[in-house]
Chain A
Amino acid sequence: MRKLLLPSLIAIALGACSTAPTETKPVVETKPTKPAEVTKPAEPVKVDPLAALKDPNNILSKRSVYFEFDKYDITASYQPLVEAHSKFLVSNPQLKVLIQGNTDERGSREYNLALGQKRAEAVKKAMSMLGAKDSQLEAVSLGEEKPKNAGHDEAAWADNRRADVLYSGEY
């Protein structure tokens, strides 16, 4: 759903101010950002800010913060990711994010629901400290109910101890 939606949003955004929408569409799908156009101050080119979220070279395309077993503190390696999204939200105040907390399958489902909430809240709190407005942030938990990795081993559990940052239109 997300993969389909974003390119079409970008196509619409670019198409609205381009003279040849039929040409821009394929370009957008392979190269979402065109720095040359963006930096031209004279032309009122409107680039969808969400394009940066899809650019694999941009840290904003990374959306998942991973956690240790029964932990909810954001480790140093995920600070840059959280900072980048916070900065992005500050400069795009019209955007909102849903932070979904998840856990691995082990232990109590209700405790895991609460733990997932705590993970989501940890990311929310960090973003809030970095300037994002509370109205832009919502933290929810899926507990262990929606595993990304359906396996039953250490690797699967590590994949599932996670908080995901989703932007409006992505959930």
Chain B
Amino acid sequence: MTYNPAMFSRRDFIHTGLAGASLLAVPAHAQLRIEITGAGARQFPIAIAAFEGDGLLPRSISDVVRADLERCGLFRIVETGPQPVGESAKIDFPNWKYRGADAFVAGSVTRLADGRLAVRFRLFDTTKASDLGGLELTILTEQFRYAAHRIADWVYEKLLGEPGAFSTRIAYVVKNGRQYQLQIADADGQNASAALVSDDPIISPAWSPDGTRLAYVSFQTKKPVVYLHTLATKQRTVLSNFKGSNSAPAWAPDGSRLAVVLTKDGLSQIYELRADGSGARRLTQSTGIDTEPFYSPDGKFLFFTSDRGGSPQVYRMPASGGDAVRVTFEGNYNVSPRVSPDNKTLAYLTRSEGRFRIALMDLASQQVQILTDSDKDESPSFAPNGRLVLFATEVGGRGVLSAVSVDGRVKQRLSGFAGDVREPAWGPLSR
């Protein structure tokens, strides 16, 4: 497989677009740290050598690949030392096997005549002494992080048999003093830039299924209004500005419609709109609060929060409306439902003994597991491969982002953002 330059084009466009907005953008926090605790049940031991020609890049590409694989908790990184190993070098399989690595990655970076860089790598099975394949990526120097994430995704999928989510993006809101920024960053928190800067609160960013647009709620007209933001062009349109409050946008999986929460007929109720904002149709008819709609990725159901039973609980109804079924029963505060990409698991926020934590329910068995051990968690969001749940929590009075593996074993905290971070939303897999 060789690299197709078209794969980068959308992203280039996005980055150019965001750079164009840099009048508003504040320099991205350079000192982002990721702290990892815990370990996966079964970790794949892998050695990733320094790439030949790594010095052509601002930072070692193999470092970024190692950091990605280690962060997800499913790999154990075997030390290789500083000696670079190119992808066409003769691999000393017994040595790497002896050092405990079941897989080995070697690669190189070379400058092309047009000034771009060619990044090549191959993945080897040290037990069978076999070549598992590799990629060649042609990049601009500043794209090296993305190239590293693509390499990590490729290795992850080859060894674990499911897609990696390293080359995806996340959106979140940073509050700094009285200023709010809607930021977009790589999944590891790097390359952050502001899509929107405002003096008024921004909440509930939601990625379109194709990753080109964000819906979100802004209070800039002194009331909640839902906007649609096209990332490549920075074009912003009002999706929903009815009388009263407009909030909680959620995309249908085919991108043709969104569910929103409106108060135009009284209390908060769920409506669906076409993606151009037209054709509002009411989907719930309760006398209480119905909010936080979320479509199951198979498009069959809308999960939502309702207090119709006396306390806020998660319910489910057909995606086009109809009879709702209660989903959560334990405790008296279960909100913010998000369905996993495989439709099998529900992540939500639960309160017990005064603590707000992220819970996971197996939808078939209704078995519940509390994933986190903090007090003020919010806003769960599944990684697009379903392996991690990203959420907001509070440390020392400040909002930070954390991620936890769905088995609860590995936790990582993205710290180092300047300001109060909240409302994370993990974007879709890149195509």
Contact = CB atoms under 8 A, between A and B. Distances in A.
Contact of A108 (B223, B305, B394): B305
Contacts of A109: 203-204, 378-379, 422-423
Interface residues of B, number: 36
B266 A145 contact: no
B293 to A, nearest CB: 10
A141 B217 CA distance: 13
Nearest to B266: A121
Interface centre among A109, A121, A140, A171 (most CB of B within 10 A): A109
Contacts of A117: 244-245, 263, 267-268, 289
Interface class of chain A by DSSP: mixed
B245 A140 contact: yes
Interface in B322-354: 333, 335-336, 349, 351
Contacts of A111: 289, 291-292, 305, 312, 335-336
Contacts, number: 82
Contacts of B263: 117, 141
Contacts of B219: 142, 145
Contacts of B201: 145-146
Nearest to B332: A70
A146 B356 CA distance: 21
A45 B141 CA distance: 78
B351 A107 contact: yes
Contacts of B305: 108, 110-111
Given A70-B312, A146-B201, A110 B356 contact: no
Interface centre among A70, A145, A152 (most CB of B within 10 A): A145
A141 to B, nearest CB: 6
B248 interface: yes
B248 A110 contact: yes
B397 interface: yes
Interface string A111-135: 1011101100100000000000000
A140 B268 contact: no
Interface centre among A114, A115, A141 (most CB of B within 10 A): A114
Interface string A138-167: 001111011000001000000000000000
Contacts of A115: 289
B311 interface: yes
A70 B333 contact: yes
A114 B333 CA distance: 14
A106 interface: yes
A29 B88 CA distance: 86
B288 to A, nearest CB: 8
19 contacts: A70-B312, A70-B333, A106-B351, A107-B335, A108-B305, A108-B335, A108-B379, A109-B203, A110-B261, A110-B292, A111-B312, A111-B336, A113-B203, A113-B291, A114-B268, A114-B289, A117-B268, A118-B267, A118-B289
Given A106-B376, A107-B378, A118-B267, 17 more contacts: A108-B336, A108-B349, A109-B378, A110-B204, A111-B312, A111-B336, A113-B203, A114-B289, A114-B291, A115-B289, A117-B244, A117-B268, A118-B289, A140-B245, A145-B219, A152-B394, A171-B222
